[in-house]
């Protein structure tokens, strides 16, 4: 090994200590297929039955009765997405790397009201992202 190889190795090691480096972190997601588009495509007031809803969306999270004694089904889904890592900026002596992270939480509620014949009377969707 000559001086050129040792010089190259020295420059590589020196660069790691001097310059900031970037890395991206793991992205965690939990998602669902219950979306506004799917709801609009599948649910028809006065047509869609409880059996249809069960086949499309599965069992509801909550089953209650409203003031009119109509059966009300509530589906609630939450999803969470996060990303983290570090980001380099210039020389390590002037700031170096810094931690970077972001997170998004999405909430989706589908509320379905059925008539006495177990047919969809009305429904509403509440979607939030924060």
Taking only the tens of pLDDT, the chain with its 130 residues reads 566 655 555 554 545 444 444 444 444 334 456 888 999 999 999 999 999 999 999 999 999 999 999 999 999 988 777 777 766 655 555 555 667 778 888 899 999 999 999 999 999 999 888 8
Q: Where are the domains of the chain?
A: 3-129
For residues 113 and 99, give the distance between their C-alpha atoms in angstroms, rounded to a whole number: 47
The pairing of strands 71-88 and 97-114 is antiparallel
Element holding 52 (H helix, E strand): helix 50-57
């Amino acid at each position: 090994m000559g001086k050129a190889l040792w010089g190259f190795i020295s420059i590589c090691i020196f660069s790691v200590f001097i310059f900031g480096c970037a890395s991206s972190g793991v992205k965690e997601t939990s998602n669902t297929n219950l979306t506004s588009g799917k709801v609009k495509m599948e649910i028809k007031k006065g047509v869609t039955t409880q059996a249809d809803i069960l086949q499309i969306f599965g069992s509801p999270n909550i089953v209650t009765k409203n003031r009119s004694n109509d059966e009300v089904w509530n589906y609630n889904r939450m999803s969470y997405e996060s990303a983290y890592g570090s980001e380099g900026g210039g020389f390590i002596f002037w700031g170096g790397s810094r931690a970077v992270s972001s997170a998004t939480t999405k909430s989706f509620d589908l509320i379905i009201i059925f008539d006495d014949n177990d047919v969809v009377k009305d429904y509403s969707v509440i979607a939030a992202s924060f």
